[in-house]
Amino acid sequence: MSRLRLGDLVRLTVLTGPGPSGGTTVLVRITRINGNTFQGRVVNPPTALASRLPRSPLTFTRAHIHSIPGKRPAGEA
């Protein structure tokens, strides 16, 4: 996994119900890095989940990351 930095986007799977199909992938922007622990905020949450996702930053580790989208556009912090 590439070196992650503040502002990078990652995809996390959020559990929304029981069973293997009880989850959805959300895009999260990293807002804090402390060793192997990250905090971030959900970017454009799915409408059905918007009211159920925490308004506070999500805390996660590399093990929680589903995938990393392509590079950030030039000039984006």
Please tell me the pTM assigned to this model: 0.75
Collect all residues with Cβ–Cβ distance below 8 Å to 52 and sequence separation of at least 6: 16
Structure confidence by residue, pLDDT tens digits, 31-49: 999 999 999 998 877 777 7
Q: Contact 38/8 with Cβ under 8 angstroms?
A: no
Which segment, 46-50, 61-65, 66-70, is predicted with the most confidence on average?
A: 61-65
Residue predicted with more confidence, 9 or 72: 9
Distance linking the first and last C-alpha atoms of the chain: 20
DSSP-derived secondary structure letter, 30: E
